[in-house]
Amino acid sequence: MDAIRRHPVTTVVAFALLLALGFVAGCGIVVWAAAHHDDASEIDHVDAIVVLGAAQYDGEPSPVFAGRLDHAALLFSQARAEHVLVLGGAQPGDRFTEAEAGATYLTDHGVPEESILPVPTGHTTVESMEAAARVMERNELRSAFLVSDPWHNARVERIAEDLGIDGHASATWHSGAVSQETRLEGYVRETFAYLYYRVFGR
């Protein structure tokens, strides 16, 4: 107590830092736990499969994107949903959107074109999910498997909940992000992205 009275500012700063570190650590635990749980193992059927976009190169999905699309195609082949939404806009100079590239890839891998709903809008996860929510509402789709990389699960589920989507993460571990270093980077990045979303909602 004497030390606190002698150094009140230092004490307050140290306490604030401990709280901040605790909050970051808590977010990291949430991200890690969500990454290691596949909701599709507990839920048989949803209205739609929502695939989060990733890089594409002149219409060809990147390995990370292809991994997500392959997982969505697997879920569809198991009759887990009747519709697949593919999200993602275009970067400056691109001839194709991520949604277009993903839709073509799914068609080439056995998903009927009439079952695919491209959502070629959004450059961030939040923007893409907002666009997906509008499409789902128009088509009276309420529940979805959310397909991305595992470390993305916690934030995507939180965004879906905030948008009124009954979302259940079902990530792929078979993507371009296969090395331990890449996965660690994914966890660290998403811990702070999840924290940012919880604080600012974007």
* Domain ranges across the chain: 35-200
Instruction: Quote the percentage of the chain above a pLDDT of 70.
Output: 88
Q: Work out the average pLDDT over 45-53.
A: 98
Whether 153 has a pLDDT exceeding 70, the answer reads: yes
Torsion (CA) 151, 80, 122, 193 in degrees, nearest 10: -20
Confidence of residue 201 (pLDDT cuts 50, 70, 90): confident
Q: Which residues contact 193 (CB under 8 A, 6 or more apart)?
A: 155
Give, in order, the Cα–Cα distances in Å from 99 to each of 21, 33, 85, 169: 38, 29, 8, 19
The pLDDT assigned to 202 comes to: 74
Contact 169, 146 (CB under 8 A): yes
**Inter-helix orientation angle 98-108/63-77, to 10°:** 50
The pLDDT assigned to 14 comes to: 66
Q: Work out the average pLDDT over 193-202.
A: 87
Which helix (H) or strand (E) segment is 61 a member of? strand 60-61
Residue-wise pLDDT tens digits, 69-112: 999 999 999 999 999 999 999 988 899 999 999 999 999 999 99
Whether 122 has a pLDDT exceeding 70, the answer reads: yes
Identify the architecture of domain 35-200 in CATH.
Answer: 3-Layer(aba) Sandwich (3.40)
The pLDDT assigned to 13 comes to: 72
Q: Work out the average pLDDT over 174-202.
A: 82
Q: How far apart are the first and last CA of the chain?
A: 41
Q: Which residues contact 145 (CB under 8 A, 6 or more apart)?
A: 39, 40, 43, 46, 48, 49, 50, 72, 75, 80, 81, 167, 168, 169, 170
Q: Work out the average pLDDT over 123-131.
A: 96
pTM comes to 0.88
The pLDDT assigned to 183 comes to: 78
Q: Work out the average pLDDT over 172-197.
A: 82
The pLDDT assigned to 176 comes to: 63
Average predicted confidence (pLDDT) for the chain = 90
Which helix (H) or strand (E) segment is 81 a member of? none
Confidence of residue 124 (pLDDT cuts 50, 70, 90): very high
Whether 155 has a pLDDT exceeding 80, the answer reads: yes
